[in-house]
Structure 1
Amino acid sequence: MTKGPIRLDVTINYAVPRTGIPAAMSFRKWVGAALANRIREADLAIRIVGTKEGRALNRHYRGKDYATNVLSFPAEMPEGLPKGVKLPLLGDLVICAPVVAREAKEQKKALGAHYAHLTVHGVLHLLGWDHDDDREAECMEQLEREILAGLGIADPYLG
């Protein structure tokens, strides 16, 4: 774990109307919380999309023909860099606004809290966390709970 402040460059791209979607500052805060004490510097992009683009990306990259809430695309290090050179590029997140809104309503969650959870969840995927089996899922969910609690957000896995 790294201590101290991190240099964070988060680009937010809204491909849908911004009404009801948190401000860029909120996304940056949630990313910062997920990365705190984990890495020193990071560059990443978050794209907020509609159902059509979300579905197309999920179909193309995961073979699943539906829009999902968040997709994570970890950066791959370019070949040919001198040994020891590390770029701070972490990757990209794609968040599908209509799916997030629908889930928040169905799960009776505050919309902002659900965006926060999915942002943290996506960033943890960029860091290499996964939930392919029960043990991994339990560890990842516990870390999400801790990060969100630090932001004053209730456990997203309750009830």
Structure 2
Amino acid sequence: MTLDLHLSRSTGLRQTGLPRRATFQRWIETTLRMAKRRGNSEVSIRLVDADEGRTLNRQYRHRDHATNVLSFPVGLEPGISLPLLGDLAICAPVVAREAREQGKPLRDHYAHMTVHGILHLLGHDHENDVDAERMENLERQVLAELGFADPYVER
């Protein structure tokens, strides 16, 4: 399996503590492997500030606030096979705030949001209790493999 990762950030983003490209790469590759994704994959991650996060969330989800991670899966026509998975927009200020509020290390929360977003790109969701449990269990397994604590345990 080969992962082609494109990483960019908002010009207004001055957040410290952002994970490095190689770190995102490792998190994504582990997620893809454990989710049994075969072949090559291409993913773009954009680290955004609160303004860009809010704009994206309002435009695509009709919610007027910045959120931690947005996933934009590639919608390929039937019969077309390309390695494109899609794009993630991770809002750095929201991830930092949530990490503080939840008493988690910032790196742990970035890992969780990355794994969560990649699983959405692979078609997982949490719209009902059964799907949510399945997705959360896979998140726990991937994060444990990466050496992170269960993100759903109250701290």
Same fold by TM-score, threshold 0.5 exceeded? yes
1:52 corresponds in structure 2 to 51
SS of equivalent to 1:132: coil
Structure 2 unmatched runs, 5+: none
Residues in 2 aligned to 1:39 and 1:72: alpha-carbon distance in whole angstroms? 20
Q: Deviations over 1:75-109 (max 9, x none)?
A: 121x5xxx844110100000000000000000000
Question: How far 1:43 sits from its partner (Å)?
Answer: 0.4
RMSD of aligned alpha carbons: 1.2
Percent identity of paired positions between Structure 1 and Structure 2: 55
Tell me which of 29, 46, 65 is aligned to 1:32: 29
Matched, 1:135 2:134: no
Tell me which of 10, 14, 17 is aligned to 1:17: 14
1:3 corresponds in structure 2 to none
1:43 corresponds in structure 2 to 42
Is contact 2:15–2:93 with CA below 8 Å preserved after alignment? no
Structure 1 unmatched runs, 5+: 1-5
Matched, 1:86 2:81: yes
Residues in 2 aligned to 1:11 and 1:107: alpha-carbon distance in whole angstroms? 29
Q: Who wins on radius of gyration, i.e. which is larger?
A: 1
Aligned pair count reads 150
Output the amino acid matched with 1:136.
D
Is contact 2:15–2:92 with CA below 8 Å preserved after alignment? no
Residues in 2 aligned to 1:18 and 1:134: alpha-carbon distance in whole angstroms? 35
1:101 corresponds in structure 2 to 96
Residues in 2 aligned to 1:18 and 1:67: alpha-carbon distance in whole angstroms? 15
Structure 1 stretch displaced more, 100-109 or 9-18:
9-18
For normalisation by structure 1, the TM-score amounts to 0.91
Q: Deviations over 1:26-64 (max 9, x none)?
A: 111111111013222100100000000000000010010
Question: How far 1:17 sits from its partner (Å)?
Answer: 2.7
SS of equivalent to 2:150: coil
Question: How far 1:74 sits from its partner (Å)?
Answer: 0.2
Output the amino acid matched with 1:131.
H
For normalisation by structure 2, the TM-score amounts to 0.93
Structure 1 stretch displaced more, 83-92 or 112-121:
83-92
